[in-house]
């Protein structure tokens, strides 16, 4: 059983059903009853006051309120369903959220320090070189932290950083596409303030619509040019 002591201000205790960890307030009142309550969550594996939880509570002589107030609050404010809390007679949702954010910050920081937070890095990403028309990246590896203890599927969303282009034309097209996207974004913003009245009775008009049109036309030209510069399609025989 994992028990952590944290300096909560209001909440007596939290329980995480996924990590099977109980987080106790360092100034907890009525330690025995509160610990029994969280122990029932631990044994049942359920953060809510289900039938199994109530059966365990009856066996230990723990008083369980008929209304699970935290269950309602958790759904309303987006707190994960795996989290249970003994909030007692706390008034004000802000008091609960203060301690919940303290819990979240502690978990995130401790996982980084202990190396248990899952993350990854690319080894040799900048060592890939261009050889002819193909990009050689055999030296690039993905290293996972912490080291997996068993065989299970891992999904990594990899967005590569472009360090070089295959040709000056490719670099030029990338810059032109960025410029076209910028024109469209600025044009959409300017269109929203067209016709705004001025103190002298006139109105302010911007070229938002023209910028959007220019950007859309430029994108079409860039796409067509990129297709022409690309590799030819293979010939299929039937």
Residues 54-90 have pLDDT tens digits of 888 888 787 776 667 777 777 777 788 888 888 766 6
Give all strands (DSSP E) within the chain, no chain letters.
2-6, 13-16, 21-25, 83-86, 119-123, 129-131, 134-136, 141-145, 196-197, 203-204
Domain of residue 147: give its range: 118-155
10/101 same-domain check: yes
**Alpha-carbon distances of 125 from 118, 142, 144, 146, 214, rounded to whole Å:** 20, 9, 15, 20, 37
Do the domain assignments include residue 217?
Answer: yes
Q: Which of 99, 133, 155 is the last residue of a domain?
A: 155
148/174 same-domain check: no
37/127 same-domain check: no
Which of 35-39, 199-203, 213-217, 227-231 tops mean pLDDT? 213-217
Q: Which of 99, 130, 155 is the last residue of a domain?
A: 155
- Give the residue-averaged pLDDT of 174-194: 83
Q: How many domains does the chain have?
A: 3
Please, which pLDDT band fits residue 44 given cuts at 50, 70 and 90? confident
Do the domain assignments include residue 173?
Answer: yes
């Amino acid at each position: 059983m994992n028990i952590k002591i944290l300096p909560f201000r209001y909440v007596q205790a939290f329980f995480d059903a996924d990590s099977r960890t109980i987080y106790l307030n360092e100034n907890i009142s009525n330690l025995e009853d509160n610990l029994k309550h969280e122990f029932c969550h631990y044994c049942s594996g359920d953060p809510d006051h289900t039938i199994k939880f109530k059966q365990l509570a009856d066996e230990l002589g723990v008083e369980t309120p008929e209304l699970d107030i935290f269950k309602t609050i958790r759904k309303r404010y987006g707190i994960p369903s795996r989290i249970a809390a003994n909030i007692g007679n706390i008034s004000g949702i802000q008091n609960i959220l203060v301690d919940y954010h303290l819990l979240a910050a502690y978990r995130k920081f401790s996982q980084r320090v202990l190396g248990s937070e899952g993350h990854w890095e690319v080894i040799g990403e900048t060592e890939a070189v261009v050889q002819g028309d193909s990009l050689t990246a055999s030296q690039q590896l993905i290293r996972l932290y912490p080291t997996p203890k068993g065989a299970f599927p891992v999904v990594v969303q990899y967005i590569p950083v472009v360090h070089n282009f295959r040709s000056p034309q490719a670099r030029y097209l990338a810059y032109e596409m960025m410029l076209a996207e910028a024109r469209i974004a600025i044009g959409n913003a300017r269109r929203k303030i067209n016709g705004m009245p001025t103190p002298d009775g006139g109105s302010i008009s911007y070229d938002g619509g023209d910028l959007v049109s220019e950007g859309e036309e430029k994108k079409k030209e860039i796409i067509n040019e990129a297709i022409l510069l690309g590799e030819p399609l293979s010939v299929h025989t039937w």
